[in-house]
Amino acid sequence: MKDDAGVTREQRVEALGGMGCKRKRVEDARFTQGKGNYVDDIKMPGMLFGDFVRSPYAHARIKSIDTSAALALDGVVAVLTADDLRPLGLHWMPTLAGDKQMVLADGKVLFQGQEVAYVVAKDRYIAADAVELIDVDYEELPVIVDPFESMKSDTVLREDLVAEDGSLPDGAHGPRKHHNHIFTWEVGEKEATSQVIDSAQVVAEETMYYHRTHPCPLETCGCVASMDKVNGKLTLYGTFQAPHAIRTVVSLISGIEEHNIRVISPDIGGGFGNKVGAYPGYVCSVVASIVTGVPVKWVEDRMENLMTTAFARDYWMKGKISATPEGKITGLWCEVTADHGGFDACADPTKFPAGFMNICTGSYDIPTAYLAVDGVYTNKAPGGVSYRCSFRVTEAVYFIERMIEVLAIEMNMDAAELRRINFIKKEQFPYQSALGWEYDSGDYHTAWDKALKAVDYEGLRTEQAQRVEDFKTGKTRKLMGVGLSFFTEIVGAGPVKNCDILGLGMFDSCEIRIHPTGSAIARLGTISQGQGHATTFAQILASEIGLPADSITIEEGDTDTAPYGLGTYGSRSTPVAGAATAMAGRKIRAKAQMIAAYLLEVHDDDVEFDVDRFVVKGAPEKFKTMKEIAFAAYNQAIPGIEPGLEAVSYYDPPNMTYPFGAYICVMDIDVDTGEVDIRRFYALDDCGTRINPMIIEGQVHGGLTEALAVALGQEIAYDDMGNVKTGTLMDFFLPTAWEVPNYETDHTVTPSPHHPIGAKGVGESPHVGGVPCFSNAVNDAFRAFGLRHTHMPHDHWRIWKTANKLGLHG
């Protein structure tokens, strides 16, 4: 159909650049020209630099701190210690997990690298010189780096959590069993599950360690605090994934009223969970700026980033899974010992001390299950963030996808077939899981069959069997592994009724203003760290309000202008803020409909929305474009309608969304060197409605690469003395272009029934599904030689040791 200008409907749709098209990113012009504006690019007149004295010991008492030589150095403006912060009540700060954390060492240190004193100087070189001049007298204390030891040890790590009479007051998540214990969190049916497992004909058991690692975005954490003493306003620029939450926290701990604080997240050089929390550097910079009256910048270096800001994982998981002789799973048991380090600074919604670990029944219809998580203090850095995943979902998915493989070995079954017979069926959605979730939608069988067919799964198994033969007869020294994983993510936290952080409900928001000439600005409570929000949110809006994406500016990250929102992590931007955007767009459309009806001189119900305009029903030649309507909103007095065209929406999601996917990895392993060669990686993702396929694909490549890193070598390792052994990029594995394969991406589309546009979120799925896929491939390569399970990370040395233990070195 053509309208009067000879433009087809398809052309009008295309001109919008709305949902589903591969719109090029609007962010890229400035980034490719070196004109991004990251925290360390910010310069202000008179700005000073902060730097930390950090503890070389993992556990020690501080006997004295001598700052005199540092203060005498030309260019040093101030040195802060806990004694300076105490009168302000800022020597400790609340953590996101309901614990508290020292801002500067208050009499003792609990992990290597802990902040002891904060130097403020004219430039970063003088600050670094001053750090060297500060003399701290430490008395070493026994170090605990193992959570199981910790639960038995007489050594008290947190004296502040033991009452004077020696009793243990409850923690933020209930009773504590030991002075180094933080919480126990139980979900599911303990008795029933143990009965099912005890009486089952088939049971597989395994203990797996999901090692400690770190999100390590390319840009480290940092901030610039600027207290304007004349008007009493504090401006805080920083690497914040949740700027509004940071503003509220700063207000609560500093006593500055929230309207006098402006938090700005400028461009962020990757986050992956590392930039969710509040760090001592932020607090000290704010205090230093208040004290000195000038702006203070603090940017950590890479070693500080890896050693002290939020780590991820560090879960010991003990599992039991039972099945009928035909392979139908009947019960799942999971016991976790979680190492939280010196303070509990996990970033999880308040009611979920172990995040959404209770998604650990995975994509399977498991009738009975039980999960218990114990959080434990040790002498390691605090953290426990979700590294490119929704809260602890990576751990959960790794657990179930390894348990499935172990069960397949136990039953001598094909692991793909075992998955298939246990998948939740399409007609079972919405599905109530044994551990309390309501999965929104899914079609697992279709996705699985598509994936297996795409890689010729049968053919791969035949080739693998031949390879084993060849290996045994000495024709090759390379084994072949086929890694499978089928994951269900749980993202988009979340419904305010059960999800909050520090009491703040986890809704999100969008505010739209349409300008008279038919362009617009939309502001959101989230913040992009590379996800391309300025591109994709404009696409959602373009489809909703019929103005071209190119005419819509998206702005985020400034608390003075953006509506309140909980930020970007846990793949929540699309499920929550994306929904808010669509809903705000619909409010605009509702008003536009009334304006259009007035202009067309018909009843409101007699016009309908069509791509970029409202048309009179049955008379498509009579219409008003959104551009015309926008102009009318500002230049005509319309009876009963306020001037202007603006809307705001705060979206409280009714449920989480549950993206899923099927991944298959084929790798060759050199038994003599432990090297792996990833021959093929196929990734099928179902993230519901697809907003921008180009960006989805980019997210999948990135997430898979971070998964490859974690599975094949990346870790934060400690020695017995609590020294961090992987504090630089020399030791901490970040894959380069040389180590990374090309990935094949694919998709199915199962929209979320409760999301306004059916989108589920995708940024983290590839990491969640990728880690078990790589790990399963390594384990699978050795299955024929009797291996059941070996812990990650599968670096060359560890793989060589596995081969050696299996007697494959002759």
Instruction: Please list the active-site residues.
Output: 241, 388-389, 764
Range 502-531, binding ligand FES (CB under 6 A): 530
Does the protein bind another protein through residue 269 (CB under 8 A)?
yes
Does the protein bind another protein through residue 36 (CB under 8 A)?
yes
Could you tell me the smallest distance in angstroms from the CB atom of residue 732 to another protein? Answer: 9
Q: Which of 7, 69, 218, 721 binds ligand FES (CB under 6 A)?
A: 218
Angle, helix 280-292 to helix 243-254, in steps of 10 degrees: 60
Q: Which of 9, 12, 25, 789 binds another protein (CB under 8 A)?
A: 25
Does the protein bind another protein through residue 125 (CB under 8 A)?
yes
Q: Which of 605, 737, 807, 810 binds another protein (CB under 8 A)?
A: 737
- DSSP code, position 293: S
Could you tell me the smallest distance in angstroms from the CB atom of residue 743 to another protein? Answer: 6
CA–CA gap between residue 65 and residue 43 (Å, rounded): 32
DSSP conformation letters of 557-621: SBTTTSPP---S-TT-IIIIIIHHHHHHHHHHHHHHHHHHHHHHTS-GGGEEEETTEEEETTEEE
Does the protein bind ligand FES through residue 270 (CB under 6 A)?
yes
Residues that contact ligand FES, how many (by CB under 6 A): 3
Does the protein bind ligand FES through residue 271 (CB under 6 A)?
no
Other residues' Cβ atoms within 10 Å of the Cβ of residue 575: 30
CA–CA gap between residue 767 and residue 710 (Å, rounded): 9
Could you tell me the smallest distance in angstroms from the CB atom of residue 355 to ligand FES? Answer: 25
Q: Which residue has the tokens 């904060």?
A: 118
Q: Calculate the CA 229 to chain-centre distance.
A: 37
The H-or-E segment that residue 167 falls in is none
Q: Which of another protein, ligand FES, none does 220 bind, CB closer than 5 to 8 A by kind?
A: another protein
Could you tell me the smallest distance in angstroms from the CB atom of residue 752 to another protein? Answer: 24
Q: Calculate the CA 275 to chain-centre distance.
A: 10
CA–CA gap between residue 337 and residue 313 (Å, rounded): 11
Q: Which residue has the tokens 């400028």?
A: 266
Q: Is 44 helix (H, G, I), strand (E, B) or coil?
A: coil
Does the protein bind ligand FES through residue 215 (CB under 6 A)?
no
Does the protein bind another protein through residue 734 (CB under 8 A)?
yes
Could you tell me the smallest distance in angstroms from the CB atom of residue 699 to ligand FES? Answer: 12
Q: Which among 1-9, 125-133, 198-206, 348-356 is the span making contact with another protein, rule CB under 8 A?
A: 125-133
Q: Which is nearer to ligand FES, 25 or 680 (CB)?
A: 25
Q: Which of another protein, ligand FES, none does 196 bind, CB closer than 5 to 8 A by kind?
A: none
Residue 330 near residue 196 (C-beta atoms within 8 A)? yes
Q: Which of 81, 390, 529, 689 binds another protein (CB under 8 A)?
A: 529
Q: Which residue has the tokens 């392993």?
A: 669
**What single letter denotes the amino acid at residue 406?**
V
**What single letter denotes the amino acid at residue 285?**
S
Q: Which of another protein, ligand FES, none does 172 bind, CB closer than 5 to 8 A by kind?
A: none
Cα atoms in the Cβ-side hemisphere of radius 13 Å centred on 203: 15
Q: Which of ligand FES, another protein, none does 531 bind, CB closer than 5 to 8 A by kind?
A: another protein
Q: Calculate the CA 475 to chain-centre distance.
A: 45
Which residue has the CB atom at the shortest distance from ligand FES?
218
Q: Which of 28, 135, 417, 456 binds another protein (CB under 8 A)?
A: 28
What are the residue ranges of helices labelled H in 314-443?
Answer: 393-411, 415-422
Residues that contact another protein, how many (by CB under 8 A): 61
Could you tell me the smallest distance in angstroms from the CB atom of residue 130 to another protein? Answer: 12
Q: Which among 120-128, 285-293, 335-343, 782-790 is the span making contact with another protein, rule CB under 8 A?
A: 120-128
Q: Which of ligand FES, another protein, none does 740 bind, CB closer than 5 to 8 A by kind?
A: another protein
Q: Which of 360, 415, 695, 711 binds another protein (CB under 8 A)?
A: 695
- Closest residue by Cα to residue 161 from 143, 150, 176, 142: 176
Residue 237 near residue 55 (C-beta atoms within 8 A)? no
The H-or-E segment that residue 512 falls in is strand 508-514
Q: Which among 32-40, 86-94, 488-496, 559-567 is the span making contact with another protein, rule CB under 8 A?
A: 32-40
Q: Token digits for 23?
A: 């719109």
CA–CA gap between residue 395 and residue 807 (Å, rounded): 31
Say whether the peptide bond before residue 516 is cis (omega within 30 degrees of 0): no
CA distances from 134 to 77, 137, 663 (A): 14, 10, 52
Q: Which is nearer to ligand FES, 529 or 551 (CB)?
A: 529
Residues binding ligand FES (CB under 6 A): 218, 270, 530
Residues binding another protein (CB under 8 A): 24-25, 27-36, 38, 40-41, 43, 74, 123-126, 129, 216-220, 267-270, 272, 299, 301-302, 529-532, 694-695, 697-706, 728-730, 734, 736-738, 740, 742-743
